[in-house]
Amino acid sequence: MAGAYCQFCNHRCFVLRRLPNGQELHVATCLRGAAYDRERTGYDFQTSTNPSDIAVDPVILSSAVRYGLGRSSYIVHVIVTNVIAAWPNLTEGTREVIRRDVKDAVDAGRVGSDADRQEWVRLLAATELTVGAGTPRS
Ligand SMILES: [Zn+2]
């Protein structure tokens, strides 16, 4: 849940989701946490509904990443968690832009405090398997 740390990734990787039965709960956005959620509820962050979902142009997400890079703020965690949650729906082009921006900033040390750096590294780790993994869901 929000505020608590995930037992699988040691980050607050949770997002609020709604199940088909109407129940709302916080689910994990890391691979092992998502597997646990599927086992526990039948759904994970990708197959359940975001009750506050809004449609935004993907450029808003890549712009949020550029805004967050270099900052030392809670907003870095919020941006990283939301980008990971939206990742399956992003185009290959947007994925490449975000990963390149984050990787360049991490490599150059332009990522705020160590806690912020860990968040950006979490984004890279969570998304590396899906780069080049084909077309997103529509
Ligand atoms: Zn987690």
Residues 7 and 24 in one domain: yes
By residue range, what is the domain housing residue 71?
58-130
> Given a cut of 90, is residue 128 above it in pLDDT?
no
Determine the distance separating the centroid of ligand 1 and the alpha carbon of 93, expressed in angstroms.
26
Q: What is the CA(35)–ligand 1 centre distance, in A?
A: 10
Write the pLDDT tens digit of every residue in 42-85.
999 999 999 988 888 999 999 999 999 999 999 999 999 999 98
Q: How far is the CA of 76 from the centre of ligand 1 (A)?
A: 16
Calculated CA dihedral for residues 36, 8, 31, 40, nearest 10 degrees: 10
Q: Are 103 and 66 contained in the same domain? A: yes
**Helix (H) and strand (E) counts for the chain?**
5, 2
Distance between Cα 31 and ligand 1 center (Å): 7
What are the CA-CA distances from residue 81 to residues 15, 21, 108 (Å)? 7, 24, 22
pLDDT tens digits, one per residue of 79-110: 999 999 899 889 999 999 999 999 999 999 99
Q: 67 and 120 in one domain?
A: yes
Predicted TM-score (pTM) of the model is 0.78
Q: Are residues 62 and 49 in the same domain?
A: no
User: Cα-flanking dihedrals φ and ψ of residue 32, to 5°?
Assistant: -70, -35
Q: How far is the CA of 29 from the centre of ligand 1 (A)?
A: 6
Domain co-membership, 66 together with 86: yes
The confidence score (pLDDT) of residue 117 equals 96
- Are 46 and 102 members of one domain? no
Structural domain count, the chain: 2
Domain-embedded: residue 69 = yes
